[in-house]
Structure formats: structure tokens, C-alpha cells
Structure 1
Amino acid sequence: MERINCRKCVHFYITWEKTHPYGCRAMGFKTDVLPSVRVYQSSGVHCLRFVEKKFNKE
């Protein structure tokens, strides 16, 4: 399985906090690395809450 890119997920957001700049709304946490990386580090399982953003192609 490829690494999950949180920047393409609807649950990802930027917190603007220096120590924890990235957040995941689905899992309810902030972290200093991309949330998918932190999830894999702590559980050994790839993120199961990933939902790809839909981009308008005009």
C-alpha cells in the first residue's frame, strides 16, 4: 500500500501552532508530522479514515 497523503484528505487541516502544525478532524488530534505518519507510527496500521478531497476540474 502506498503512503497516504494527508494533504489530499478532507479531514486534514493546518493548526498554525508551532509545535503541532498538522491536524486530523476525523481522529481529533494535532501533531508535528503528517497525521497519517503518526497513525502508522503508533499503531502499525495505515489510516482508515482517509477520504480523498474532490477537486473541481473546470
Structure 2
Amino acid sequence: MDNPTNDRRCIRCTHYFITHDTALPYGCNALHFKSRNQPWREVLAASGTPCQYFSPKPGTTRATKA
């Protein structure tokens, strides 16, 4: 099973964005929501599976440390 903390971190995803809303600072364009937590955590909590919309940003690899 994928480890979402290593393979599908939002910061490495093209759909991830930081909002200007202090109450909901993280967002996902693919799923059209903002959250207090990293979107991958919300997806995992709601569905029990890693995000299926993850799309790596150009130039990122699994070996990159964040």
C-alpha cells in the first residue's frame, strides 16, 4: 500500500495550493476544497485510501526531501 506521507504529499502535487484564509490555509484544486489540515490527510480520513488525484509537479521525484 502507498505511504501517503512519502509518496503523495500535497506539497509535491500540482493541485495543491495555499489559501489566504487563515481558518482554512490548505487547498486542493482537484477536489475543490480548503481545509485546516493537509488535503491528503482529509482524503485519507474520509475514504481510507490515498488521494487518487495526486499528480506530481514537474521536476519532483520520490527521492526529493521536503
TM over 0.5: yes
Distance 2:42 2:16 in 1: 13
What does residue 2 of structure 1 align with?
3
Which secondary structure does the structure 2 equivalent of 1:54 belong to? Answer: coil
Distance 1:40 1:28 in 2: 16
> TM-score, normalization: structure 2?
0.79
Q: Which amino acid aligns with 2:59?
A: F
Offset of residue 38 of structure 1: 0.3
Unaligned runs of 5+ in 1: none
Q: Which amino acid aligns with 2:27?
A: G
Moved over 3 A (4+): none
Which secondary structure does the structure 1 equivalent of 2:45 belong to? Answer: helix
Q: Which amino acid aligns with 2:10?
A: C
Please tell me whether residue 19 in structure 1 is matched to residue 23 in structure 2.
yes
Q: Percent identity?
A: 34
Give me the CA root mean square deviation. Answer: 1.3
Unaligned runs of 5+ in 2: 61-66
